[in-house]
Structure 1
C-alpha cells in the first residue's frame, strides 16, 4: 500500500462515528488480500431496510424538490446524503432497543459532516405503531425500518442509509485497538467501577460502562451522548494506527459480526475514492429539550420550534452549494 493511499484511508476513517467504520472497509488502497477480506466483510454486513419502504416525502417543499423517489443519492455527482447510526442494546430472546441514535449529514461539496444525537427518551409518534412513545422504542416495535421511518418523521427529513451496531461489540473492538483514553468531566460509579475525574485509560468493558452511564451525569442523556461520541471518536482514531495485518483482519471480522448496513460495497468504495478526500471537518450540534413526566413515565420533550431548527440546519447542510 502506497503512502498516499494510506493517508486517504486514514483521513476517511476520521470522518466520524460508526459510519466511518463502515467506510474504512472499502479502502481500495489495501493489498488484494485485505481488499478481498473487506469485500467479504461488507457482504456479511449488508442488510436491506426490511420490506420495500417508500421514500419519505417531507412537508417542506424545498426538501420535496431535492429528495424524491426518482432521484436517489447519485454517487457520481457527489450528492450529499444522510445516515442514521443505531447503537443497539440487544440481548438473547429480546429484540432490544436502540441505545443510541446518531444522525450524520455528509456533504462533500461543503467538505463537512454534521452530526447530532437524538436523545433516546425523546417523546414522539412512532411511525407504524399506534402510539406516542420514546423514540428508542421504535426499534423494539419494528426494527431498523420503524426506527428510520420514525426518525424521518421526527426530523421531517429523509434518511438515505442506516448503520446498526451491537453495543456489546464495542468492548471487543476497543480491546482490539488497545483501549481508549478519555478526559472524564465528572467522577461517578457505574456497575461496580469507579470512574475518577480527569484523564482515564479504559479497556473495552470499562469504555462500554463509561458510555452507558447517564443517571449520575448532571447533564443526563445529553452528557451520556457526549461521552458516547468521545468513545466513538477515540475508537476511530486508534483504529487508524493499526498497521498490523493480523489486527486489521480481526477488526474486520468483528465488524462483520456486529455491524449491519444498507450501504453496498460499491458505495463504500465511492465514499473512499471521491467523498473521503473532500471531508475536512465534523460539526456537532445538540437537540435541546426538557424532561417531563407524563402518566408516570419520564420523557425528553422537544418543542416544534426546536424540531424546526434542527430540520432547517439539516436542510441547509444538505444543499450542494458550498455557501
Structure 2
C-alpha cells in the first residue's frame, strides 16, 4: 500500500454520509444493499460524554444524539485515516473534524495536524495526537481530540487505506485548482484547474516538501479533494455504479453512525449542506527529546474552539 493513499482517502470517509445522501434519490430501490453496507461498517464504541470547560457548550447525552439529529440539530464528526499494518493497530495518520449545521446550511471542516503535541487522554502521556489511536483505539483518539478542542464529538468515521483510487474513479475523478506547478511521482501538476483520476489525486495530496507551506499546504490539498468529493457525490446519479461504491465503502470504513441515522441524513440533510468552510490550525515546530512536534498555543486552541461553538450555534438551533 502506498503511504500517500492515507492522505486523500480521508475525503471518501469524511464524505461518506454525503455520498449516501447524494445517491439517496436514485438508490432507495437498492435499500437492501445500502442497509447491508451500513450494518457491515457499523462499529459502536464505548459511550462517553465529554463535558466542556466552556459553560456555554451544551452537554448532549450520548443516547440522545439520534433524537437531536431527527430534530435537525447540528452534530460533529471526527474522521480518521488509519495506517493499519498486519499485527499492528496502526496510527491515525490523518484527522479531520466536521461540524455540520443544517440550519446554517453549512459544514465547518479542519485538519488537526498529525504531529500536534497534546495530552493523550487515558494514557497518562503527552505525545503526538496521532499516537492516541495506537495506544487506545477509536475511544482514546476521540477522548484526546475532545480534550484538545474542548468540544464534544458525536460521531467518528475510521478509514483504512484501501479503495481510495477506485472510489475517486467511480465518481468520475476530481477537479482541483492547483496554486503552482510542481512535479511529484514523475508527474507534472500544472498550475490552475486540473482534473485528476484516483491515482493522480493521491499523488497530488501527498506532496509536501516542494510546497512553501509544508504540511499546511498538503492539508489544504487534502481538504480541497474532500470538498470536491462531497460536491461530486451530491450530484452523483449513475445508478449502475452505486453497487461499486457500496462495496468499496464496505471494505474501507467503520463508523458509529447507525443505519437509521444515515436514513435521516439522506432524507433531511441533503439539501442543507451546500456550503463547506475550511479553516487551518496554526502552530510552530519544536524538537523535544529529539522528537519534532507541532506546538499549538492555548490561544489558537481557543480560537478553534470558538469557531466550533459559533458553527454549532446550539442556542439558536435548539428546539
The question of a shared fold, defined as TM-score above 0.5 by the shorter chain, is answered with yes
1:25–1:252 contact (8 Å) kept in structure 2: no
Show the counterpart of 2:179.
Answer: 185
Q: What is the root-mean-square deviation in Å for CA atoms of aligned residues?
A: 2.3
The whole-number CA distance in structure 1 between the counterparts of 2:91 and 2:124 is: 18
CA separation in 2, counterparts of 1:224 and 1:148?
23
What is the Cα deviation at residue 315 of structure 1? 1.3
- 2:41 pairs with one of 32, 41, 45: 45
1:297 aligns with 2:287: no
Task: Label 1:189 to 1:315 Cα distance change in 2 as closer, same or farther (>3 A).
Answer: same
SS at match of 1:67: coil
Following TM superposition, by how much is the alpha carbon of 1:189 offset from its aligned partner in structure 2, in angstroms?
4.0
Residue among 46, 65, 74 paired with 1:72? 65
Mapped contact 2:181–2:189 kept (Cα < 8 A): yes
Q: Does 1:109 align with 2:103?
A: yes
The CA deviation at 1:30 is 3.3
Q: CA–CA distance in 1 between the matches of 2:85 and 2:165?
A: 15
Q: 1:196 to 1:308 in 2, by over 3 A?
A: same
Are 1:308 and 2:306 counterparts? no
Say whether the 8 Å CA contact 2:15–2:226 is kept in structure 1.
no
- C-alpha distance in 1 between matches for 2:84 and 2:166: 15
Structure 1 spans left out of the alignment, 5+ residues: 1-15
Match of 2:4 in 1: none
Q: Kindly tell me: are residues 72 and 242 of structure 1, through their superposed partners in 2, closer, same or farther at Cα, counting changes over 3 Å?
A: closer
Residue 97 of structure 1: aligned partner:
91
Cα distance between partner residues in 2 of 1:110 and 1:230: 21
Mark the CA change 1:192 to 1:134 in structure 2 (over 3 Å): closer, same or farther.
farther
SS in 2 for 1:59: coil
Other structure's SS at 1:58 match: coil
Instruction: Normalising by structure 1, report the TM-score.
Output: 0.85
* Number of matched pairs: 304
User: 2:178 & 2:14 partners in 1: Cα distance?
Assistant: 25
| SS at structure 1 position matched to 2:56 | helix
2:263 to 260, 269, 290: 269
**5+ residue gaps, structure 2:** 1-10
State the structure with bigger RCO (CA 8 A, min sep 6), 1 or 2: 2
Q: CA deviation at 1:101?
A: 0.8
CA spacing shift, 1:77–1:201, aligned 2, 3 Å: closer
